[in-house]
Structure 1
Amino acid sequence: MWRSRLLAAAIGAGLAPAFPVAGAWWWAWAGLAPLLVLLARAGSYRQAAWLSWCACAAFFTTLHHWVLPFLGIFAPLAIVVIGWVWVPFGLAAHGLLRRATPARVLMASLVLPSVWVVTEALRSWKHLGGAWGLLGAAQWRAPAVAQLAALGGVWLLSFVLVAVNTGIAAAVLPGAGRRTRLAGGGAALALTALAAGYGLLRPEPAVTGAMRVAGVQPGIVPGPERRVAEHLRLTRELAGRDHDVVVWGQSSVGLDPARRPDVDRRLRAASAEAGSDLLVNVDATGPTGRIAKTATHYTPAGVAGTYVKRRLAPFGEYIPLRPLLGWVAGATEAAERDRVTGAGPTVFEVAGRRIGPLISYESTFPDLRRELARLDVDVTIAQGSLTTFHGSWAHAQQASFEALRAIESGRPAVLVELDGTSAAFDARGRRLAWVPPDHRGVFVVGVPLSREATPYVRLGDWVPALATGVVAAAGAACAVRRLAGLRGRRPTH
């Protein structure tokens, strides 16, 4: 029993390299199959639950190991809780594959991906940490397959990957009949071909122009005065380099320009000297005494627009239910004060183009990018900062999100980090820039612009909605069969 649990943990941990930094994206197409075989051969539902818990806990511990030191004494509790995420999937897999037939394999190829997607959608709730570690996100480096995100978002990619893994597991399942193996292998091959075919046949969007985006990446600079000064110094290096906008990362300005006229003047002057508009990020106590993370659009004439961050990182930027959980700040590195939540999206008009701003953690959410696409932006620009997780896997993982967000929204995407991996992608998710976290200085990237109303932008999260319907129908059918079985066993008089 313990050997099977250790094996399940090894399988779960082995799936993590499909994501950055390792980037073995191809393993996501088969890495779940060994776990499905193990679940199918489990002796009971209870054992299947334990196996799926071990695999899930090992997967998230490996993939997000960089978070654990900041959780302090709560790290073991977090691992215990996160392990339950895959348990519904494990129970469903055991029930459908333990007596595999061609019909049950085909049913499993629909139900198991649906259970997986529903679970991913639920754990992506903004108060639970956002859409990190979604299986479909591993495909950002496979442009042909990644185009499925334009059809159904990252959710469709996850659905297809789990369905293919299910088919592979059925094809190699010990004791399965020939027809069962053929059904599983055939389904896996057909889905893989359809996924790649959609991407290869998808027409290129019409390019409407170009925008040159300059990024400033100074790294960790302690103290708000020194941080502003270093950003200003680097921005001066961009003078005469033919760009449309200069972007600073999250928390680049730790002083409120509304209360510091000298800072306001220096930012206006920086815009004038650089010869373009300037997007900074203010993270400071305002006149009301509260802190807001604000993307601020500067021109030589002053502030042209602002955007306040709407999705705050739980515990990092606020503590949920602070009256009850406020004591957590004393035991971890959780936020001592809650940030202000923004009211809605904003569009900045820059050099005749429409920019959709987002801030760091918000880059993980597909719906925010879809919302900006519906506002007809030309490009989305995210300001980030991963100083807390300096040198960790988080840098490449966050940068990789931009590729899928670009494909989903049909708009190019740019991420500028204060400290982290800055990146830019065109509307097809092709890499335009990849600035490593150890880079200190500036960069300029030419971004081809295009506007495309992708099916995902038009239809929204139809894949999680459909998956919910499939799970509900499967659950109802299971309940009906169980009730019928109980009635059949009742003694007659």
Structure 2
Amino acid sequence: MAQETLRDRSPAGESGAGRSGAPGEAPRGRSGGRLGGLRRGGRAGWPRILLALAAGLLMWPAFPPIDLTPLAPLGIALLTLALRGRTARTGAWLAFVAGAAFFLPVLEGISRVGPDGWIILSLVQAAYFLPLGAGIAVVARLPGWPVWTAALWVCEELIRGRVPFGGFPWARLAFSQTATPLTPYASFGGAPLVTFLTALIGGLVAYAAVAAYRVRRTRASRPDEDGEGKEGDEGAEPRPAWRGLVPIAACLALVAAVVGGGTLIPTPASGRPVTVAVVQGNVPRLGLDFLGQRKAVLDNHVKATRELAAKVRAGELPRPELVVWPENASDLDPYTEPDAYAAIDGAVKDVGVPVLVGALTDTPDGEKVENRGIVWDPVSGPGDYYVKRHPVPFGEYLPFRDLLTKLITRFERIPRDFAKGDRSGVMELGPVTIGDVICFEVAYDKEVRDVARGNLLVVQTNNATWGRTGLPPQQIAMSRLRAVEHGRTILVSATSGISAIVAPDGRMLDESREFVPDVQVQAVPARTARTLSDRLGAAPEWALAALGLGAVLAAAWTARKNEGN
């Protein structure tokens, strides 16, 4: 009885004696044929489908802006329970259901560009849960399965963040844990380690639930007070009640150890003080033509910078040593537009310190556009620059352009592709070295790690399209995790919000509201020390992913070996 699993009692189980149909086949209902099985939700069974659906919906509020962070491991626990005892194929289907229930609400902000794009992207992301679910269903048969299931979550995110078109690593488990006791682990193994531990807690909760179910079944099958044994227990020695509670206590102790261990990890936030300014000029109201809109955005940032300079002269604000403008602060190419050049140069001269200017510029051949962060000096003008290395597919460049423009007229709004930069964003800005990433590059481990050797990290972004959705606060959450991961102050400058200054320990030093002009001035630590995560690089992610794949192979080999006996 102690060896019994949840699978053995499932009303729509795929295996077990005494059921009609072959193992893995849906049970036949009273109405005959497979109709009864379909009424029960097919091979998965409606209870498990609903459990998978609930798991996905439970994970969603763990992410910003709701931030009910404990729900992420609880959702994982529900999904794991739904997958245990299923075949790989059924596990894949159940995980896809959970993935759709999760990604549709968490990516709802994408609907601003069209409901079709939002739904397609969400379902494509959910498709990555297909191999995840199949793998979890397989490795859940092994001893120590919470560890192997957690490693498979890292494997899923590794693939989803790279394939295809460079991947889409939004809504990783780690990004739901950016202000929790798990956050400090990012300084050891980066976002992948935080994902692993989040999934591990969920797996341990599921394991405890299975153990509690077994205790309940064991107690229900013990001899009654009259000494008459219940069915199935003839001659059985009654087990001490405490033995059944040991696995539950062990799981809870491990969860406490993981959570408590995070609180013991130091997150240093000291360093040479540097006074910085982050400018959020805001975007104008709709109604202007395309050229007028671009000019108004530039004028807003010029105006905010001149107001900053005036307050510094009046002694109302400390003098910054550098200023950061957001992505798309100037969609007018300052190299070819004299008015744009003059406006930017005048504002930089007025504030008197180097400004990192986000601007769109033409490539030398005029065929593509570059998304640049330009170091603009008050004396020498534009100098070093960074070109965004990870432009957004179907947003900043169009794969299969000839075909898609014929099928979807909306893609005509992307007349030219954005060029891909070929070097990192490590540049000198005033008294420090900065590492610049642009917009959703902050979601990519490699891009941020590559520039973390700077004293400060900068995220230039334009969230105007996604304003007042869950996407801007989710991006801020990523920045908070990156700050701890690399031990760096992060300056987030957005055209319309959310702009922020994040300390190396993840604390929010300042944060703007959306769709209002704002200037943030703070003295922040510029650091040079590297974290263990920086030194290890991508090794933890690949090691954990290999652990998950190795468990799948071991489970498959064990199953085949057992079939041969």
Q: Does 2:275 match 1:211? A: yes
Deviations along 1:394-417, one digit per CA (max 9) or x if unpaired, are: 110111111111111121111100
8 A contact 2:57–2:101 mirrored in 1:
yes
Q: Over the residues paired in the alignment, what is the CA RMSD in angstroms?
A: 2.4
Could you say what secondary structure the match of 2:178 adopts?
helix
Q: For the structure 1 residues 348 and 163, does the alpha-carbon distance in structure 2 shift closer, same or farther, using more than 3 Å as the test?
A: same
1:197 Cα offset (Å): 2.3
8 A contact 1:285–1:292 mirrored in 2:
yes
State the aligned residue count: 478
Q: How does 1:403-422 map to 2 (within 5 A)?
A: 403-422=480-499
1:419 Cα offset (Å): 1.8
Q: For the structure 1 residues 36 and 460, does the alpha-carbon distance in structure 2 shift closer, same or farther, using more than 3 Å as the test?
A: same
Deviations along 1:88-147, one digit per CA (max 9) or x if unpaired, are: 3323333344x6xxxx452x12210111101011101272553210111111122x4201
Q: CA–CA distance in 2 between the matches of 1:203 and 1:387?
A: 33
Deviations along 1:426-450, one digit per CA (max 9) or x if unpaired, are: 1111111111213323222332222
Q: Give the counterpart of 2:104 among 38, 44, 61.
A: 61
Match of 1:224 in 2: 294
Match of 2:10 in 1: none
Q: Does 2:130 match 1:87? A: yes
Amino acid at match of 2:431: G
Q: CA–CA distance in 1 between the matches of 2:132 and 2:81?
A: 13
8 A contact 1:139–1:145 mirrored in 2:
yes
Q: For the structure 1 residues 12 and 346, does the alpha-carbon distance in structure 2 shift closer, same or farther, using more than 3 Å as the test?
A: closer
8 A contact 2:441–2:447 mirrored in 1:
yes
Q: CA–CA distance in 1 between the matches of 2:59 and 2:473?
A: 17
Q: For the structure 1 residues 180 and 336, does the alpha-carbon distance in structure 2 shift closer, same or farther, using more than 3 Å as the test?
A: farther
1:347 Cα offset (Å): 2.7
Q: For the structure 1 residues 433 and 105, does the alpha-carbon distance in structure 2 shift closer, same or farther, using more than 3 Å as the test?
A: farther
Q: How does 1:27-46 map to 2 (within 5 A)?
A: 27-40=71-84, 42=86, 44-46=87-89
Q: CA–CA distance in 1 between the matches of 2:118 and 2:177?
A: 29
Match of 1:22 in 2: 66
Q: Give the counterpart of 2:391 among 309, 312, 322.
A: 312
Amino acid at match of 1:176: R
Q: CA–CA distance in 2 between the matches of 1:79 and 1:198?
A: 32
Match of 2:238 in 1: none
1:313 Cα offset (Å): 1.0
Q: Give the counterpart of 1:158 among 195, 220, 230.
A: 195
Q: How does 1:224-373 map to 2 (within 5 A)?
A: 224-239=294-309, 240=312, 241=317, 242-289=319-366, 290-301=368-379, 302-327=381-406, 330-331=409-410, 335-373=414-452
1:267 Cα offset (Å): 1.6
Q: Give the counterpart of 1:137 among 150, 161, 175.
A: 175
Note the residue ranges of structure 1 that are not aligned, 5 or more in a row. Answer: 489-493
Amino acid at match of 1:36: T
Q: For the structure 1 residues 96 and 339, does the alpha-carbon distance in structure 2 shift closer, same or farther, using more than 3 Å as the test?
A: closer
Q: For the structure 1 residues 27 and 483, does the alpha-carbon distance in structure 2 shift closer, same or farther, using more than 3 Å as the test?
A: closer
Q: CA–CA distance in 1 between the matches of 2:343 and 2:564?
A: 79
Match of 1:182 in 2: 246
Could you say what secondary structure the match of 1:238 adopts?
helix
1:34 Cα offset (Å): 1.9
Q: For the structure 1 residues 370 and 77, does the alpha-carbon distance in structure 2 shift closer, same or farther, using more than 3 Å as the test?
A: closer
Could you say what secondary structure the match of 2:505 adopts?
coil
Amino acid at match of 1:60: F
Q: CA–CA distance in 1 between the matches of 2:104 and 2:244?
A: 35
Q: CA–CA distance in 1 between the matches of 2:259 and 2:538?
A: 18
Q: CA–CA distance in 1 between the matches of 2:186 and 2:323?
A: 29
Q: CA–CA distance in 2 between the matches of 1:119 and 1:250?
A: 30
Could you say what secondary structure the match of 2:416 adopts?
coil
Q: CA–CA distance in 2 between the matches of 1:21 and 1:51?
A: 27
Q: For the structure 1 residues 191 and 6, does the alpha-carbon distance in structure 2 shift closer, same or farther, using more than 3 Å as the test?
A: closer
Match of 1:491 in 2: none
Q: CA–CA distance in 2 between the matches of 1:267 and 1:217?
A: 13
Q: Does 2:185 match 1:148? A: yes
Q: For the structure 1 residues 478 and 33, does the alpha-carbon distance in structure 2 shift closer, same or farther, using more than 3 Å as the test?
A: closer
Note the residue ranges of structure 2 that are not aligned, 5 or more in a row. Answer: 1-39, 216-241
Q: For the structure 1 residues 181 and 477, does the alpha-carbon distance in structure 2 shift closer, same or farther, using more than 3 Å as the test?
A: farther
1:462 Cα offset (Å): 1.9
Q: CA–CA distance in 1 between the matches of 2:364 and 2:265?
A: 54
1:482 Cα offset (Å): 3.7
Bigger radius of gyration, 1 or 2? 2
Amino acid at match of 2:308: L
Could you say what secondary structure the match of 1:149 adopts?
helix
Deviations along 1:296-321, one digit per CA (max 9) or x if unpaired, are: 11112211211111111111111224
Q: Does 2:552 match 1:475? A: yes
8 A contact 2:498–2:513 mirrored in 1:
yes
- Say which is worse superposed, 261-270 or 402-411, in terms of deviation: 261-270
Q: CA–CA distance in 1 between the matches of 2:361 and 2:406?
A: 23
8 A contact 2:483–2:503 mirrored in 1:
yes
